[in-house]
Amino acid sequence: MKNITLRQLRYFDALARHGHFGRAAEACAVSQPALSVQIRELEEALGNALFERTPRQVRLTTLGREFLARSREILRAVNELGDLARAAQDQWIGQLRIGIIPTIAPYLLPAIVERLSGTFSGVDVQVRETMTTNLLKDLAEGRIDTAIVALPISDPTLTEVALFDEAFVLVRPEADRDKPVLDRDMLREMRLLLLEEGHCFREQALAFCDLQSNQARETLDGTTLSTLVQMVGAGIGVTLIPEMAIPVETRSAAVSVARFSDPEPTRTIGMIWRGTSPLADQYLRIAGIVRQAAASLRDRRAAEA
Determine, yes or no, domain membership for 54: yes
Tell me the HSE value of 192 on the side-chain side, using a 13 A CA sphere.
Answer: 29
Q: Are residues 188 and 252 in the same domain?
A: yes
Determine, yes or no, domain membership for 152: no
Which domain range does residue 124 map to?
88-147+277-304
Q: How far apart are CA 145 and CA 128, in angstroms?
A: 10
DSSP 26: H
Determine, yes or no, domain membership for 112: yes
What pLDDT, on a 0 to 100 scale, did the predictor assign at position 240? Answer: 93
Q: Are residues 197 and 243 in the same domain?
A: yes
DSSP H helices, the chain, are 6-18, 21-27, 32-46, 62-87, 105-119, 132-140, 184-187, 200-208, 225-233, 246-249, 280-304
Determine, yes or no, domain membership for 247: yes
Determine, yes or no, domain membership for 160: no
Determine, yes or no, domain membership for 74: yes
Q: What is the CA radius of gyration of the chain?
A: 23
pLDDT of 213 strictly over 60: no
Q: What is the pLDDT of residues 186-204, one digit of tens each?
A: 777 788 898 988 889 888 8
Residue 301 confidence class, pLDDT cut points 50, 70, 90: confident
Determine, yes or no, domain membership for 114: yes
Q: How far apart are CA 22 and CA 35, in angstroms?
A: 9
116: helix, coil or strand?
helix
List the CATH number of the domain containing 48.
Answer: 1.10.10.10
What pLDDT, on a 0 to 100 scale, did the predictor assign at position 216? Answer: 41
Number of domains in the chain: 3
Q: Are residues 250 and 300 in the same domain?
A: no
Q: Are residues 139 and 281 in the same domain?
A: yes
Strand 192-195 to 219-222 pairing: parallel
pLDDT of 90 strictly over 80: no
List the CATH number of the domain containing 197.
Answer: 3.40.190.10
What pLDDT, on a 0 to 100 scale, did the predictor assign at position 263? Answer: 82
58: helix, coil or strand?
strand
Residue 156 Cα distances to 18, 153, 292, angstroms: 28, 9, 27
- Domain-terminating residue out of 84, 115, 130: 84
What predicted TM-score, i.e. pTM, was given to this entire model?
0.78
> Is the model more confident about 79 or about 225?
225
Q: How far apart are CA 39 and CA 11, in angstroms?
A: 7
Per the CB < 8 A criterion, the answer to whether 235 and 174 are in contact is no
